[in-house]
Amino acid sequence: MYKRILIPVDFTDKNLAALDQVYQLAKWGHGSVTLLHIIEKVQNIPRKELKQFYQTLERNARMKMNQYAKTFAKHSVPVTEKILYGKRAEEIVRCAVEEDTDLIVVSSHKVDVTQGWGTLSYKVAILSPCPVLLVK
């Protein structure tokens, strides 16, 4: 069973189904969960120039992640919250490696292949060193 589960969250409604799957997997397998949110940097503008902007994004993300984490903690599922800066696919995979993750659970949606295969879920699935569960 999966002992270390990583779930990237962007706080959209599509995350709710993935969070439910993670909760079930972690509860049954006595695993731990890492909630991960990536804040993408604005290109070509030094981070210090947008310090207040990033602080607001991070503060809002922490509040929302705390709400998600309460559901896991309420049922004795160990949960860690991480906020990283960078490109989403790269940071998700990097975090999975660093955390020795057994499973990444990614929210997904219907893909229009005429627009290309560049979705986040596709990139993570291709680059991941561990299994990836896509939840629609």
The CATH number covering residue 57 comes to 3.40.50.620
* pLDDT classification of 19: cutoffs 50, 70, 90: very high
Q: Is the dihedral of CA 16, 18, 21, 27 positive or negative?
A: negative
Q: Is the pLDDT of residue 112 over 90?
A: no
pTM for the whole thing? Answer: 0.90
> In whole angstroms, what is the distance from residue 60 CA to residue 69 CA?
14
Query: What's phi and psi for 6, nearest 5 deg?
Result: -110, 130
Structural domain tally of the chain?
1
- Asked whether residue 130 carries a pLDDT value surpassing 90, the answer given is yes
pLDDT, tens digit, for every residue of 46-91? 878 999 999 999 999 999 999 999 988 888 899 999 999 999 999 9
Q: What is the C-alpha radius of gyration for the chain, rounded to an integer number of angstroms?
A: 15
Instruction: Please give the residue range of the domain that contains residue 35.
Output: 4-135
Question: Minimal CA–CA distance to 70: which of 107, 33, 21?
Answer: 33
φ/ψ region of 127 (left if φ > 0, alpha if ψ in -120 to 50, else beta) reads alpha
